Every structure is written in C-alpha cells, then in structure tokens.
C-alpha cells in the first residue's frame, strides 16, 4: 500500500510542474493536429491543376532549348575552326567533348519538350482538362509513344554528324543496341505508329474499353519480343553453359516476361469486367501495374558479382559484400510481387487495401512519427525525477519517511512510466479521433493485409496497430530507464537529459553508416528508436508517407526483447544499487 501511495504522490507531483503539464498537453494537441494532416505539405502546396499552364511551361522550355542550342552550335563551330597544338590541344579536346555531350542532351530535351507541346495541344482540342478524366492518364502513354516515334525518325533521317547523338542518347532511351539495322527500326516505327493511332482513336471516341484492349495488344507484342530474346539467350547458353553473364540475362528475361504476363492478366481483368475508371478496383489495378514496372526496373538493374566488384566505388560503399547486395535486392523484388499478391487478394475478396484510398487505416500509420515527442517527454520527466530532489534538498524529506529506499525510488520510476503511458494512450486516441473526423470510421473494420510464407493473410487492423504502438513504446521505456538511471547516479538533470537524447539520436545517426546492411537489425542501436524502423517491413500497394530512415533496415521483435530487456534491467540494477547504498548526508 505504501508503494502505491508513493507512486500516486509522485504521479501527482509530476503534473504539478507547470512546464511538464504544458508539454504533456502540447504533445496530445500536436497528435490531434497531425491526425488532421495539417502538417501535410501536399495539402498546402500545389494549387489547382491546369493543362494550359503545363503547356505554357513546355512552350517556354522549347524556346529556351532552341536558344541554348544556337549558342552551342556557334561555340562548337568556332572551336572546330580553331587550331592549337600540344597540351592546350588536349584540354580543348576534352572541353569540346563535354560541349558535344551537353549539346546532344539539349537536342533530346528539345525533342521531349516539343513532343509534350504537340500532345498537350491536341489534348486541349479534345477538352481534356481534369485528372479525373480517364483520357488524362492515357496522355503519358501517348507521350511515351510519340517520343519513341520521334527517336526512330531521328535514326532513319540521321546525318553523318548524328552518329554520336544516336549512340549516346537515342539508343539508351529506346533501350536498343547501337548495332541496329534500318529494317528493325522501320518495323518498330510502323508498330509504334499503329499503337499511337489506336490510342488517339480511343481517346477521341471516349472509349475506355478500346484503350484497355489496346494496352493488352501492346503488352502481348512485348511478351512476344521478350520470348524471342529468351530463346536467343537459351541458344547462346547451349554453346556457353558456364557463362555467368548469360545466366543473369536469362534470369532477367524470364522475370521480365513473367511480369509482362502479369500485366496482361491485370489489363485483361480490367477489360473483361468493365472496371469503372477511378474506382478503388481500378486504382488497385493501376498500382499493381506500377509494382510490376518497379519489379522490371529493379530486375534489369541486378548486376553480376564481377560487375559488383568492378564498380566497387559505388556498390562496396553501399553494401558489405555481394551476398548482402543480392539478398537485399531479391527481398525488394519479392516485395513488389507480394504487393501484387495483396492487390489480387484485395480485389477477389472485396477488401480495399489500406493505402489505395485516403482511409483512416492509412492515416493511422503516421502515428509512428509521434514517438519522437514521446521520447523527449519521457527523457525530460525521467531526467528531473531524482536529480531535482537533490537540487532542492527535498531528498532528505523523502529519506526520513518510514519506508525503504528502494520503494521510494521504485515509486518515482513507476510514476514516470505511468505518466508516459498515459500520454501515449491519450495521444493515440487523439490521433484516431482526428483520422476518423477527416476519413470516417467505415474502413476501421477492414483488415490489414500482409504476406506470410507466400500467402496473403488478414489481421484485425486496430489490433495490429496497437501491437506496433506497444512495440515502439519499448524503446521509450528503455530511454526513460536510462535517463532515470543517469539522474539517480549523477544527480545532474542536464547530464541525464543529454545522455537520453544522445542515445535516442544515435539510432538515427548510426543508421546512415550501416545504410543497407542487414547487420544493423542485430545490433542494439535501432532499438533505441524503434519507431523510425518499425514500418520498414510494411508492404503496401501505394507508397506511404510514413517515416522510413533507411528502408532496408528491419528491426526484429526478438532482438528488441533481448537488447532492450537486458539493458533496462542493467540500468535498474545500477540505479537501485546506487540509491540504496549512497550516503546522502553530504549532497
């Protein structure tokens, strides 16, 4: 009973401190405002969309690029006419090479700007003014196709001086070898012209189904091309089965082909089921397509071990070794496929995934950002808990009570924990209330979807979120205990608070050194600030605006228990041993 009485007394004493009471209320108010998204820059910046404004910007860009090209043409002409010798000639040659590279980049930028202008002008003629118009999303497919057509024509109409421009700029953009044939380019141009004509026809006829069907046709063409590439690689492997480069090329071709087949399945589902534009199913399908695109991009960027070490300045700085690089990249590839699996499960079971719409579930993920404020509060109250008693000399009044010293210290410690947990609970309630006010409570009954052992699993969202909150609270408890121990041992508030803050920020600072390292999750440092990493294993369809210090660093509940539990017990042993045995007569 005495311990309970002491704890209540210490709890009351905390709230009698006006500064702490103000901090307490301010944190809860901040959580409520954050839940309302008042700090979201996307809600403030920007303004209304205007295709006319974008068109004007591209028209200005065309004029700017044209003027810059004229200046470079004059400089290059004059430098070609001048003659020098020796070391000065080498310097001029290097400068000229750089100028030609910039000149070629400007030519391509002008080509791109002119393409945007021509497409946007036609779009305005067709009265495409809003992003809610399905035809607007088609414009970028048209722009991409028109760019390819323009590039193919550059190749077919090339002058002798265009050889470098085509090899260094045009071919990389088209993702083709510089060893092309005119026949190949002519065929590609004809196919692309047919594709663009079909796209424009669907837009002009207001036929969304025609657009979807055209997408399927285009993807089937890509699938056939990738199948031909795969067959060619297999023939090469028969002659050179030990080639690591060919094995990697085969893996990429097989993966890309499978992704294209997945995209065909998505577009076929959309076409055959007449999915309404901008419905949640339509948005889910769009995001799944994006995930396949990300998968293809990451897979094409996969390098062999030889290339990894050859370009060590980049790769070996970011990764410990090739094994870690391969492990992390394979995990990223699997994340894309997991997201697609979640998308199909969502559609087939009528469960709208939390990130697809502006939902309360999605908004609640931002609560993890609030743990920085909880950490500061916990560190402050723990820092003043014991040291302030020595400063004000009230420590004597505590020790003359008929109670054992450990009970006095324990009551202070428990009151700090109780205050911090009350703050977290009230803040969670404020954040949830704010989320419901702006997004409604209708989707809270929907589950959180995740992939476990290759299968999509449902879990009650509020239970899952509360588990994450408790998980993050473990680091707050440790920081409080560490600061409390420093306050007890050193009897100095400034030092105690500083030690707590240093420990908190060390978690973030050290993450920049470990970057993509899988080792960091086994060290104690990330668990000093779990909230920065707690969602790094989260796989959602749409990108989330939650804090991720380093996306590849994953924390583990088991190691959190081991490190935080062990260090917390150690700190408490030091604090209680010091307080119960210390002579305070000279304090």
Q: What is the pLDDT of residues 220-277, one digit of tens each?
A: 988 998 999 899 999 999 989 889 889 999 999 999 999 999 999 999 999 999 888 8
Give residues with Cβ within 8 angstroms of 399, minimum separation 6: 405, 408, 584
Q: Count the Cβ atoms, other than its own, within 10 Å of residue 573.
A: 11
- Average pLDDT taken over every residue of the chain: 84
What token pair was written down for 436?
């419901």
DSSP conformation class of 537 = T
Residue 7: predicted pLDDT = 79
Tell me the residue length of the chain: 587
- pLDDT band for 546, please (50, 70, 90 cuts): very low
Task: Please determine, for residue 347, whether its predicted confidence score (pLDDT) is greater than 90.
Answer: yes
- pLDDT band for 547, please (50, 70, 90 cuts): very low
The candidate with the shortest Cα–Cα distance to 335, out of 543, 140, 192, is 543
Give the containing element (helix H, strand E) for 449.
Answer: strand 447-452
Q: At what angle do helices 87-125 and 51-81 cross, to 10 degrees?
A: 160
**157 in helix, strand or coil?**
coil
The candidate with the shortest Cα–Cα distance to 520, out of 270, 320, 379, 317, is 320
What token pair was written down for 54?
């974008």
Tell me which range, 96-105, 164-173, 504-513, is most confidently predicted by mean pLDDT: 164-173
What token pair was written down for 57?
């910007």
Q: Count the Cβ atoms, other than its own, within 10 Å of residue 165.
A: 21
For residue range 116-154, what is the model confidence (pLDDT) as tens digits? 999 999 999 998 887 778 888 788 889 999 999 999 999
**64 in helix, strand or coil?**
helix
Torsion angle in degrees (nearest 10) through CA of 225, 226, 230, 236 = 60
What token pair was written down for 18?
């006006």
Q: Count the Cβ atoms, other than its own, within 10 Å of residue 53.
A: 11
- pLDDT band for 79, please (50, 70, 90 cuts): low
Task: Please determine, for residue 406, whether its predicted confidence score (pLDDT) is greater than 90.
Answer: no
Cα distances from 565 to residues 134, 419, 481, in angstroms, run 54, 20, 11
Residue 325: predicted pLDDT = 84
- pLDDT band for 93, please (50, 70, 90 cuts): low
How much is the average pLDDT of 347-373?
A: 87
Q: Count the Cβ atoms, other than its own, within 10 Å of residue 64.
A: 14
What token pair was written down for 191?
């196919």
Give residues with Cβ within 8 angstroms of 370, minimum separation 6: 27, 30, 31, 34, 427, 431
Measured CA to CA, the distance from residue 20 to residue 401 in angstroms comes to 26
Query: Dmax over Cα atoms in the chain, in whole Å?
Result: 101
Handedness of CA 271, 272, 274, 280 (dihedral sign): negative
For residue range 276-309, what is the model confidence (pLDDT) as tens digits? 888 899 989 989 999 999 999 999 888 888 888 8
Q: Count the Cβ atoms, other than its own, within 10 Å of residue 252.
A: 19
The label of the residue with tokens 């889910």 reads 284
Task: Please determine, for residue 85, whether its predicted confidence score (pLDDT) is greater than 60.
Answer: no
DSSP conformation class of 541 = S
Task: Please determine, for residue 396, whether its predicted confidence score (pLDDT) is greater than 70.
Answer: no
**132 in helix, strand or coil?**
coil
**62 in helix, strand or coil?**
helix
Residue 32: predicted pLDDT = 95
Task: Please determine, for residue 169, whether its predicted confidence score (pLDDT) is greater than 50.
Answer: yes
Residue 301: predicted pLDDT = 87
H helical segments located in 319-401:
322-349, 360-364, 371-385, 387-391, 395-399
* Beta bridge partners of residue 457, listed in sequence order: 450
Measured CA to CA, the distance from residue 123 to residue 51 in angstroms comes to 9
Q: At what angle do helices 461-490 and 557-581 cross, to 10 degrees?
A: 30
Measured CA to CA, the distance from residue 252 to residue 106 in angstroms comes to 32
Q: Rounded to 5, what percent of the chain is helix, strand, coil?
A: 80, 0, 20
DSSP 136-151: HHHHHHHHHHHHHHHH
For residue range 488-534, what is the model confidence (pLDDT) as tens digits? 988 888 999 999 999 999 887 887 776 556 677 788 888 898 888 77
* Beta bridge partners of residue 447, listed in sequence order: 460
> For a pLDDT cut of 90, what percent of the chain falls above it?
40
What token pair was written down for 61?
């860009």
Are 33 and 39 a contacting pair, CB within 8 Å? yes
């Amino acid at each position: 009973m005495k311990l309970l009485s002491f704890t209540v007394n210490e709890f009351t004493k905390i709230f009698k401190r006006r500064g702490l009471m103000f901090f307490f209320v301010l944190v809860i108010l901040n959580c409520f405002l954050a839940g309302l998204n008042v700090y979201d820059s996307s809600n403030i910046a920007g303004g209304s969309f205007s295709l006319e404004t974008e068109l004007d910007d591209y028209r200005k860009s065309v004029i700017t690029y044209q003027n810059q090209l004229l200046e470079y043409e004059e400089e290059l002409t004059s430098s070609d006419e001048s003659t020098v010798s020796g070391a000065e000639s080498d310097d001029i040659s290097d400068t000229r090479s750089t100028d030609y590279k910039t000149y070629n980049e400007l030519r391509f930028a002008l080509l791109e700007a002119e393409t945007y202008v021509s497409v946007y002008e036609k779009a305005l003629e067709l009265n495409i003014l809003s992003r809610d118009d399905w035809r607007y999303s088609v414009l970028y497919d048209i722009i991409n196709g028109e760019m390819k057509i323009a590039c193919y024509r550059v190749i077919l109409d090339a002058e002798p001086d265009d050889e470098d421009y085509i090899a260094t700029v045009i071919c990389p953009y088209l993702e083709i070898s510089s060893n092309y044939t005119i026949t190949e380019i002519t065929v590609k141009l004809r196919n692309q012209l047919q594709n663009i004509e079909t796209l424009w026809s669907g837009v002009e006829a207001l036929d969304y189904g025609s657009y979807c069907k055209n997408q399927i046709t285009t993807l089937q063409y890509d699938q056939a091309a990738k199948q031909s590439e795969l067959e060619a690689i297999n023939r090469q492997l028969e002659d050179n089965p030990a080639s690591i480069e060919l094995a990697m090329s085969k893996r990429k071709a097989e993966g890309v082909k499978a992704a294209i087949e997945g995209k065909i399945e998505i577009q076929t589902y959309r076409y055959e089921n007449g999915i309404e534009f901008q419905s949640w199913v339509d948005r889910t399908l769009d995001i799944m397509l994006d995930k396949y695109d990300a998968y293809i991009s990451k897979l094409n960027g996969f390098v062999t071990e030889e290339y990894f070490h050859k370009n060590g300045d980049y790769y070996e700085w970011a990764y410990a070794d090739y094994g870690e690089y391969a492990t992390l990249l394979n995990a990223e590839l699997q994340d894309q496929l997991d997201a697609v699996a979640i998308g199909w499960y969502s559609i087939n079971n009528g469960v709208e995934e939390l990130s697809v719409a502006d939902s309360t579930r999605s908004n609640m993920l931002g609560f993890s950002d609030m743990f920085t404020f909880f950490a500061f509060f916990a560190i402050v109250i723990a820092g003043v808990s014991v040291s302030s008693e020595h400063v004000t000399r009230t420590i004597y009044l505590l020790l003359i009570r008929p109670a054992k010293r450990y009970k006095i210290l324990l009551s202070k410690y428990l009151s700090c924990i109780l205050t911090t947990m009350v703050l977290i609970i009230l803040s969670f309630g404020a954040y949830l209330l704010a989320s419901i006010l702006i997004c409604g409570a209708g989707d809270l009954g929907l589950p959180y979807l995740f992939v476990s052992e290759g299968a999509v699993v449902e879990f009650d969202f509020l239970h899952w979120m509360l588990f994450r909150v408790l998980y993050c609270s473990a680091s707050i408890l440790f920081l409080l205990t560490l600061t409390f121990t420093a306050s007890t041992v050193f009897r100095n508030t400034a030092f105690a608070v500083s030690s707590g803050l240093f420990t908190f920020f060390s978690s973030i600072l050290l993450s920049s050194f470990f970057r993509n390292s899988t080792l960091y999750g086994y060290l104690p440092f990330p668990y000093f600030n779990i909230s920065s990493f707690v969602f790094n294993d989260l796989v959602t369809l749409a990108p989330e605006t939650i804090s991720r210090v380093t996306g590849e660093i994953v924390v583990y509940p088991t190691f959190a228990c081991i490190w935080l539990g062990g260090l917390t017990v150690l700190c408490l042993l030091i604090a209680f041993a010091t307080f119960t045995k210390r002579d305070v007569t000279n304090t």
